[in-house]
A and B are shown apart, each in its own frame.
Chain A
Amino acid sequence: MQLLANVLVDGLAYGMVLFVIAVGLSVTLGLMRFVNLSHGAFAMIGGYVAALLTREAGWSFWLALPAAVATTGLLGAALEALVLRHLYRRSELSQVLFTIGLTFFLIAATNALAGPQVQQIKLPPLLDQSVDLGFRTLPAQRLLVLCAGLVVALTAAWTVTRTRFGVWLRAAVDHPDTASALGIPIRAVQCATFAVGAALAGLGGVLGAELMPLEPYYALKYLVLVLVVVAVGGMGSLLGSLIAALSLGIVETASKYLASDWGSLFFFLAMALLLAWRPNGLLSRGARA
């Protein structure tokens, strides 16, 4: 029973981290049709900024978290505005090559600047303790991850479906020319969407540092997992990504607890079965080519 509860809590937390990182990728890949393989690098940068600020500069975690998120968001916006927007009309293969090159570059840069060792984020005392929920005690950090994931999911769903910005985003995606003719600032919408996606990846990198250790190859190692979440969930579908992230997170955690010497076998087996069952993802947004 204890084991089952541990698997469930850790699995849900792991899934939530995957989801928070995957949201941005799901939106850029599914809605903006831009294959961004440097997304894992954004999560890594967020985590590194938080780790360096808390450890070297002695900042409080609660200050370093928004700083890290803002840094990744600004970096995403700058990249989008300067380089990536020129690639929107290029083939998927060009996008893949460019962003994977960017990932290699960022890995090398992190390695050169911060060294190859694993970075720890110093947690405040509030998160280091356990929380008694009455029926069970949980590490406070896991609780924060779960709550943050839920908040991100609800806010993202609300933004896309209920706000003016969401309407603009969907219009800019479905009919860019018409949307632009109607006076919607589609460049600003694209840039802001990309920046928010990058910022969320940064948030995921900070929150998930306990579960996904921060090291230079983080960007490539977890990129595959995030891509899997997006593919299984259905590109552009937030709810699909959430379901996929949580179920795959539980599968991965359970196999780590129960059958660790099988590596990631069960994770990828589950993914292959889910994709074979629903090739366009659990919940796909409309028909895709």
Chain B
Amino acid sequence: MTTADSSLAPRCGPAWRTPAVVFALGLAAWWLLPDQLGLVTRIAFTALFVLSLDLVVGVAGMATLGHAALFGAGAYAAGIFALRVHPDPLAGLAIGIVAGSLIALASGAFLLRYRGFTFLMLTIALAQIALSLAQKARDWTGGDDGLTGFTMGPLLGRFAFDLEGRTAALYALVVLTLALYVARRVTDSPFGLAVRGIHENRARMAALGTPVFVRLLTIYTLAGALAGAAGALAAQTNAIVGLDSLSFALSAEALVMLILGGAGRLHGAIIGAVLFTLLHHTASSINPYHWLFVVGGALMFVVLVPPQRAWAWLRSRLGAHESRPVPAVTQEELA
């Protein structure tokens, strides 16, 4: 096997390694920054959302700008469930996951018949349709005012959501860790490799006998489940669901985070989400009106100086001479 092939082979490290590292770092942040727990929670559910996007964009190679529809579906489902049925957080999380995957299954059955630019535009259209429907269904979603007034019950019947957000942050972190483990196992499984194969060359995988449409629909539904979980977490920890959870801006920002961290290798999604959320947080605390300057500037900078090149430069500066191929889908391959 040549080096080029080994870069696409499943990674040899155990699947629990990345989730363990993420959990340890998150736990350290939870321990060391007791007054930034809201930010930790925010980073955790954002990272989960970007992770879900990575399954669609990085692994399956389908650029989408409508992923917020799945996030919003999970958020509204969890919020409405807490308000009208039962305040138990885990049941709400399950409802969010079901809602996200059902929406993904239904929309995917239509969307996945199209490719490239048409697929991209159709995802925008579906997300905007979902937004208009949520705006119209004022009785259920609260419309422009947002869905509020629900309180969460204690987690597992024991740990109440406190005012500082200690429970919320830990809860979000645990869900993120579990989701990362599941996503890692799935992408390294034969199924995940088939999806990567479809990304590389759809015609060849079809000729090999892979049921392309079914594989893509499955991964899209799985991504919908994770996005729904992220939405449910956001709804439960913020105790409010706004129309912005379905917005185009959210989809676009998630895509930006994914590219920032590197698409296709899962931990890139986490890194991107952490970087972007921290950047957003700092820039908007310096000047709430002009944080777009910083984000826009960072985006242009990332394109002109791609992270891979920057990392390679850094590595060569630090004297690491072995040229290990980056086990990732680079930006150029994604086109």
List residues of A whose CB falls within 8 A of some B CB. Answer: 87, 90-94, 97-98, 100-109, 111-112, 116, 220, 224, 227-228, 231, 235, 261-265, 268-269, 271-272, 275-276, 279-280, 288-289
Which residues, 105 to 131 on B, are CB-close (under 8 Å) to A?
Answer: 110, 114, 116-118, 121-122, 124-126, 128-129, 131
Q: List 6 A-B contacts (CB under 8 A).
A: A91-B332, A101-B300, A101-B303, A111-B290, A265-B129, A279-B114
The 7 A-B residue pairs whose C-beta atoms are closest, nearest first, are: A101-B299, A104-B296, A105-B296, A91-B335, A265-B132, A108-B292, A263-B132
B293 with A108: CB separation less than 8 A:
yes
**B204 CB-CB contact with A under 8 Å:** no
Q: How far does the alpha carbon of A246 sit from the alpha carbon of B253 in the complex, in Å?
A: 31
Decide: A100 near B256, CB < 8 A? Known: A235-B117, A275-B125.
yes
B126 with A101: CB separation less than 8 A:
no
A102 with B334: CB separation less than 8 A:
no
| Shortest distance from the beta carbon of B103 to any chain A beta carbon, whole Å | 15
**B135 CB-CB contact with A under 8 Å:** yes
A265 with B133: CB separation less than 8 A:
yes
Q: Which of A91, A109, A289 has the most CB of B within 10 A?
A: A91
> What's the dominant secondary structure at chain A's contact region?
helix
Decide: A103 near B121, CB < 8 A? Known: A263-B135, A263-B136.
no
Closest Cβ neighbor of B301 among chain A residues: A101
B125 with A107: CB separation less than 8 A:
no
Q: How far does the alpha carbon of A1 sit from the alpha carbon of B63 in the complex, in Å?
A: 45
Closest Cβ neighbor of B126 among chain A residues: A272
B114 with A97: CB separation less than 8 A:
no
A275 with B118: CB separation less than 8 A:
yes
When distances are taken between beta carbons in the complex, the residues of chain B under 8 Å from A264 are 128, 132
Q: How far does the alpha carbon of A165 sit from the alpha carbon of B125 in the complex, in Å?
A: 36
Which residues, 261 to 309 on B, are CB-close (under 8 Å) to A?
Answer: 289-293, 295-304, 306
Which residues, 298 to 335 on B, are CB-close (under 8 Å) to A?
Answer: 298-304, 306, 331-335
Q: How far does the alpha carbon of A275 sit from the alpha carbon of B293 in the complex, in Å?
A: 35
Q: How far does the alpha carbon of A108 sit from the alpha carbon of B302 in the complex, in Å?
A: 18
B331 with A100: CB separation less than 8 A:
no
List residues of B whose CB falls within 8 A of some A CB. Answer: 63, 110, 114, 116-118, 121-122, 124-126, 128-129, 131-133, 135-136, 248-249, 252, 256, 259, 289-293, 295-304, 306, 331-335
A228 with B296: CB separation less than 8 A:
no
A272 with B129: CB separation less than 8 A:
yes
A268 with B125: CB separation less than 8 A:
yes
Q: How far does the alpha carbon of A230 sit from the alpha carbon of B293 in the complex, in Å?
A: 28
Closest Cβ neighbor of A111 among chain B residues: B289
When distances are taken between beta carbons in the complex, the residues of chain B under 8 Å from A111 are 289-290, 292
Q: Which of A101, A102, A112, A224 has the most CB of B within 10 A?
A: A101
Q: A97-B299, A101-B298 are in contact. List 7 more A-B contacts (CB 8 A).
A: A92-B63, A93-B63, A94-B331, A100-B252, A112-B293, A272-B126, A276-B122
Closest Cβ neighbor of A266 among chain B residues: B132
Q: How far does the alpha carbon of A235 sit from the alpha carbon of B306 in the complex, in Å?
A: 28
Decide: A91 near B331, CB < 8 A? Known: A100-B256, A228-B125.
yes
| Shortest distance from the beta carbon of B106 to any chain A beta carbon, whole Å | 13
Q: Which of B118, B121, B293 has the most CB of A within 10 A?
A: B121
B292 with A97: CB separation less than 8 A:
no
When distances are taken between beta carbons in the complex, the residues of chain A under 8 Å from B297 are 101, 105
When distances are taken between beta carbons in the complex, the residues of chain B under 8 Å from A279 are 114, 118
A93 with B334: CB separation less than 8 A:
yes
Closest Cβ neighbor of B291 among chain A residues: A108
Decide: A90 near B126, CB < 8 A? Known: A103-B296, A105-B300, A108-B290.
no
When distances are taken between beta carbons in the complex, the residues of chain A under 8 Å from B248 are 220, 224
Decide: A268 near B128, CB < 8 A? Known: A92-B335, A263-B136.
yes
Q: How far does the alpha carbon of A83 sit from the alpha carbon of B295 in the complex, in Å?
A: 18
CB within 8 A of B296: which of A94, A102, A227, A268? A102
Closest Cβ neighbor of B290 among chain A residues: A108
Closest Cβ neighbor of A289 among chain B residues: B116
When distances are taken between beta carbons in the complex, the residues of chain A under 8 Å from B301 are 101
B303 with A268: CB separation less than 8 A:
no
Decide: A94 near B292, CB < 8 A? Known: A105-B297, A231-B118, A275-B125.
no
